[in-house]
Amino acid sequence: MTKIQKAACIGGGVIGGAWAARFVLAGIDTTMLDPHPEAERIVGEVMANAERAYGLLTTAPLPKKGKLTFVKTIEEAVQGADWIQESVPERVELKRNVLTQIDAAADPKALIGSSTSGIMPTELQRDMKHPERMFVAHPYNPVYLLPLAELVGGEKTSPETLELAKARLAPIGMKGVILKKEIEAFVGDRLLEAVWREGLWLIKDDICDTETLDDVIRYSFGMRWAQMGMFETYRIAGGEAGMRHFIAQFGPCLSWPWTKLMDVVDLDDALVEKIANQSDAQSGAYGFRELERIRDENLVGIMQTLKTSNGGQGWGAGKLLTEFEAHLWKTAPKPEAKPSAEPIKLLEAKVHPSWVDYNGHMTEFRYNQCFADAADSLLRIVGADLDYVAAGHSYYTVEAHNQWLDEAKLGDALYVKAQILPTDGKKIHTFMWLYRVSDDALLATCEHLMLHVSSKEGKSVPPLPEVLEKLQPMIAAHANLPLPAGAGRVVGQKKA
Ligand SMILES: NC(=O)c1ccc[n+]([C@@H]2O[C@H](COP(=O)([O-])OP(=O)(O)OC[C@H]3O[C@@H](n4cnc5c(N)ncnc54)[C@H](O)[C@@H]3O)[C@@H](O)[C@H]2O)c1
């Protein structure tokens, strides 16, 4: 069983709160221990931002949220947990002490991950009775969106622990990468620190201010890094001759004075003040949670774009998102609708920022997306789901007619109802209405026709019996409903 059944978070600050959000939104009951007097408020705010971000990230069916319980002791926290994540402040004595207490109280088979940014796991597991199940799971902020965890074992960590940790991260949408050896600061923080060290020199030496430095990153190589990292990017930079040529051209620069090398800048009061003032000038107009929300929207946008690249197969973090969504669809309860003489409710959605155009209204094609998602939902109800498609059959849309009747605005909750019009089941002919939840205003309609096909043979064929068995009673149940006013309407017709 690779799924995490119950999680415990020890420490609920920036990182621990976001781990809790990742677990809870993946449907995992989670306990939280943090002595901070305002821990519940702080974690609650992180949770609210995380839910908002997931609302933007995916329309796949998220599981019912796990229960989040605040507790007072390590013993209560780890009771029944099979993944325990330590995220207390970065002090080796404190961490070792907390981890040793966790080890004593937890089920010996429970996995224990530390969020440490750079302390070696061998140091942390020193006093444990069952150190073989302890490892570093180093995440990136915000843990609920950025999917990577560096998995690092210490001298006493078993290789199976790291493999099991990696397998358990996949169903919560995360990619675990296992490092071959432990090293202080692992991979990510070593790279970040090298760039940060150089950046601090550039500010101290008045070469640029914080805003200019950030612009240099985000308008250029920052975007490259998000999608190809360093070596794949440099392979392309070497032109047709590739990596060898790149190294021949830029390798010598490493010994030119392009870097302050390992000199560490003195972060004295004057430099801290200078950086803080420049940062206020750069970003002080935004509140902390506001900046978090802007960051989340940007990250969601990047991941969604990466999901569509490489001929639709996805790339990097976008490919992982596709796999996570496939998992969500597979594990979601199968939708059911008993045949009834009422139009069927097929979709609930929210208008999110990327759906809104320059008028502040939901952009035209998102209305179509609502109807397309509703049609997909009907297909899942009749059993023409992803497994059916993978086995070689599907329904393809062949014709549609929309009416745009009212505006949907950012944040509006929407739903779609559908009436199935009489057909033989080889075609599915529906009339759909898109409504706003708050006032049941009718926003748009769509008359929609799908045709059953064999994707292998590339032609239309009758549906398989298991689909017809579900579909025909639904068609029959709607047969006596009056024809919707707009059905059969042609473009430009004055009256519905
Ligand atoms: N902030 C980041 O970007 C980041 C990224 C990756 C990893 N980390 C690592 O995650 C860990 C936590 O960092 P953070 O940024 O969340 O710090 P933080 O200061 O925001 O949170 C630490 C939390 O631990 C709580 N705490 C202190 N002692 C505790 C104890 N004995 N038991 C339970 N809770 C206790 C504090 O009340 C606080 O809420 C550190 O090891 C850090 O290196 C941080």
Q: Which two tokens stand for residue 324?
A: 């996570």
* pLDDT over 60 (residue 1): no
Which tens digits make up the pLDDT trace of 292-323? 999 998 999 999 999 999 998 899 999 999 99
* pLDDT over 60 (residue 496): no
Residue 364 β-bridge partners:
none
* pLDDT over 60 (residue 335): yes
Which tens digits make up the pLDDT trace of 146-202? 999 999 999 999 999 999 999 999 999 999 999 999 999 999 999 999 999 999 999
Q: Is 35 in the pocket of ligand 1 (CB under 6 A)?
A: yes
Choice from 15, 98, 184, 192 to test ligand 1 binding pocket (greatest atom count within 8 A of CB)? 15
Q: Is 99 in the pocket of ligand 1 (CB under 6 A)?
A: no
Bridge-based pairing state of the strands 427-436 and 413-421: antiparallel
Give 259's pLDDT tier (boundaries 50, 70, 90). Answer: confident
**Average pLDDT score over residue span 372-392:** 93
Q: Is 34 in the pocket of ligand 1 (CB under 6 A)?
A: yes
Atom of ligand 1 nearest to the CA of 36: 37
- Among 211, 239, 234, which residue's Cα sits nearest to residue 224? 234
**Average pLDDT score over residue span 244-271:** 87
Q: Is 33 in the pocket of ligand 1 (CB under 6 A)?
A: yes
* pLDDT over 90 (residue 411): no
Q: Is 16 in the pocket of ligand 1 (CB under 6 A)?
A: yes
Cα(199)–Cα(279) distance, rounded to whole angstroms?
Answer: 13
CA of 116 to the centre of ligand 1 (A): 8
Mean pLDDT of the chain: 94
* pLDDT over 60 (residue 389): yes
* pLDDT over 80 (residue 494): no
> Residue 21's pLDDT is what?
98
* pLDDT over 70 (residue 118): yes
* pLDDT over 90 (residue 339): no
Q: How far is CA 331 from the centre of its chain?
A: 16
> Residue 55's pLDDT is what?
85
Atom of ligand 1 nearest to the CA of 39: 39
Q: Is 369 in the pocket of ligand 1 (CB under 6 A)?
A: no
Which tens digits make up the pLDDT trace of 30-76? 999 999 999 999 999 999 999 989 988 988 889 999 999 999 999 99
- In the block, tokens 């939902």 appear at 377
CA of 106 to the centre of ligand 1 (A): 20
CA of 388 to the centre of ligand 1 (A): 46
Atom of ligand 1 nearest to the CA of 11: 34
Fill in the amino acid letter for 91. R
Give 460's pLDDT tier (boundaries 50, 70, 90). Answer: very high
For 19-55, b/e burial (b = at least 16 CB within 10 A) is bbbbbbbbbbbbbbbbeeeebeebbeebbebbebbbe
Q: Is 38 in the pocket of ligand 1 (CB under 6 A)?
A: no
Choice from 33, 34, 152 to test ligand 1 binding pocket (greatest atom count within 8 A of CB)? 34
> Residue 213's pLDDT is what?
98
> Residue 275's pLDDT is what?
96
Cα(437)–Cα(338) distance, rounded to whole angstroms?
Answer: 23
> Residue 333's pLDDT is what?
85
CA of 329 to the centre of ligand 1 (A): 33
Fill in the amino acid letter for 43. V
Give 415's pLDDT tier (boundaries 50, 70, 90). Answer: very high
Q: Are 359 and 383 in contact (CB under 8 A)?
A: no
Q: Is 116 in the pocket of ligand 1 (CB under 6 A)?
A: yes
Q: Is 37 in the pocket of ligand 1 (CB under 6 A)?
A: no
Q: Is 36 in the pocket of ligand 1 (CB under 6 A)?
A: yes
**Average pLDDT score over residue span 70-94:** 98
> Residue 2's pLDDT is what?
82
Q: Are 125 and 154 in contact (CB under 8 A)?
A: yes
> Residue 261's pLDDT is what?
64
Choice from 31, 85, 87 to test ligand 1 binding pocket (greatest atom count within 8 A of CB)? 87
> Residue 459's pLDDT is what?
94
Q: How many CB atoms lie within 10 A of CB 424?
A: 14
> Residue 338's pLDDT is what?
84
For residue 335, say if its preceding peptide bond is cis, omega within 30 degrees of 0: no
Q: Are 422 and 375 in contact (CB under 8 A)?
A: no
Q: Are 133 and 112 in contact (CB under 8 A)?
A: yes
Q: Is 117 in the pocket of ligand 1 (CB under 6 A)?
A: yes
Cα(86)–Cα(16) distance, rounded to whole angstroms?
Answer: 7
CA of 309 to the centre of ligand 1 (A): 36
Q: Is 412 in the pocket of ligand 1 (CB under 6 A)?
A: no
Which tens digits make up the pLDDT trace of 136-154? 999 999 999 999 999 999 9
Q: Is 74 in the pocket of ligand 1 (CB under 6 A)?
A: no
Give 495's pLDDT tier (boundaries 50, 70, 90). Answer: low
Q: Is 402 in the pocket of ligand 1 (CB under 6 A)?
A: no
CA of 117 to the centre of ligand 1 (A): 10
Cα(7)–Cα(66) distance, rounded to whole angstroms?
Answer: 10
Choice from 114, 117, 120 to test ligand 1 binding pocket (greatest atom count within 8 A of CB)? 117
| Dihedral in degrees, nearest 10, Cα atoms 21, 23, 28, 33 | -70
To the nearest 10 degrees (0 to 180), the angle between helices 269-283 and 188-204 is 100
Protein residue closest via CA to atom 29 of ligand 1? 88
Q: Is 142 in the pocket of ligand 1 (CB under 6 A)?
A: no
Per-residue three-class SS string for the chain: CCCCCEEEEECCCHHHHHHHHHHHHCCCEEEEECCCCCHHHHHHHHHHHHHHHHHHHCCCCCCCCCCEEEECCHHHHHCCCCEEEECCCCCHHHHHHHHHHHHHHCCCCCEEEECCCCCCHHHHCCCCCCHHHEEEEEECCCCCCCCEEEEEECCCCCHHHHHHHHHHHHHHCCEEEECCCCCCCCCHHHHHHHHHHHHHHHHHCCCCCHHHHHHHHHHHHHHHHHHHCCHHHHHHHCHHHHHHHHHHHHHHHHHCCCCCCCCCCCCCHHHHHHHHHHHHHHHCCCCHHHHHHHHHHHHHHHHHHHHHCCCCCCCCHHHHHHHHHHHHHHHCCCCCCCCCCCCEEEEEEECCHHHECCCCEECHHHHHHHHHHHHHHHHHHCCCCHHHHHCCEEEEEEEEEEEECCCCECCCEEEEEEEEECCCCCEEEEEEEEEECCCCCEEEEEEEEEEEEECCCCEECCCCHHHHHHHHHHHHHHCCCCCCCCCCCCCCCCCC
